[in-house]
Amino acid sequence: MKSITKNIGTIVMALALTISFMSCEATKNANNKQKGAVIGAGAGAILGAILGNNVGKGGNGEVGAVLGGVVGGAAGILIGNKMDKQAQKIETEIPGAVVERVDDGIVVTFDENSGVFFDTAKYNINAASQINLDKLASVLVEYVDTNVLVVGHTDSVGSDESNMLLSQRRAQSVTSYFTVAKGLNPGRFTTNWYGEQTPVGDNTTPEGRAQNRRVNIVIVPNDKMKQDAEKEAGN
């Protein structure tokens, strides 16, 4: 009887958290396929959201290892609820950023219209960018059981080589700001870069190029969050 009661309680909790997840504002930015991938899928949707559905050849090759697989069942729903709350917090603190809940993770996109700015051909973080990165750093401090992937991109102006280097330096600048200036644990961060290889906008227009000059910050549950969720779910 105790086992049956426990199972019923788990199902009720799962249904309640599912309803909570679907009400999260950030999920409105995800399509139905992405929403359905929250339980039991791999990291492909997150990769698509970061890379513009075009896996590039740049970076340090550790993206898949950082993202890992998605936790299913009741544990996955518990994780999803925690990540929903974190996504909502980011939306509240940084209204200019694009925040998407994809699989178990959160994809935060900063471009020239939404929060992190770089001067032309430069990679230093200016004062305007620091304001939003400070706000995101505060959220990362509050939600400590997560890992962070920082990914840099450029538009197509310039050579492939120069854009790859520029995207690397910009991504590394953001990571360094979090770990050095804000004192966050470097072990939580992985940095990657793709130059001009992964556009999300049309590089033939000024508006499209502005979209492509972006930094993605992906927040995913770490092993501790996954283990705690499995214990709480009774796995």
3-12, 124-133, 202-211 — which is least confidently predicted? 3-12
23-32, 131-140, 165-174, 207-216 — which is least confidently predicted? 23-32
Secondary structure class of 35 (helix, strand, coil) = helix
DSSP letters, 78-139, are HHHHHHHHHHHHHHHH-TTSEEEEETTEEEEEE-TTTT----TT-----HHHHHHHHHHHHH
Mean pLDDT of the chain: 78
Cα(198)–Cα(21) distance, integer angstroms: 29
Q: Which residue range is the domain that position 154 belongs to?
A: 2-232
Q: What pLDDT band is residue 84 in, cutting at 50, 70 and 90?
A: very high
Q: Report pLDDT for 193.
A: 92
pLDDT for 221 beyond 80: yes
In the chain, how many domains are there?
1
Largest CA distance in the chain: 68
Q: Report pLDDT for 53.
A: 61
pLDDT for 39 beyond 90: no
pLDDT for 218 beyond 70: yes
37-41, 101-105, 211-215 — which is least confidently predicted? 37-41
More confident site: 18 or 77: 77
Q: Report pLDDT for 61.
A: 52
Secondary structure class of 45 (helix, strand, coil) = helix
What CATH number is associated with residue 43? Answer: 3.30.1330.60
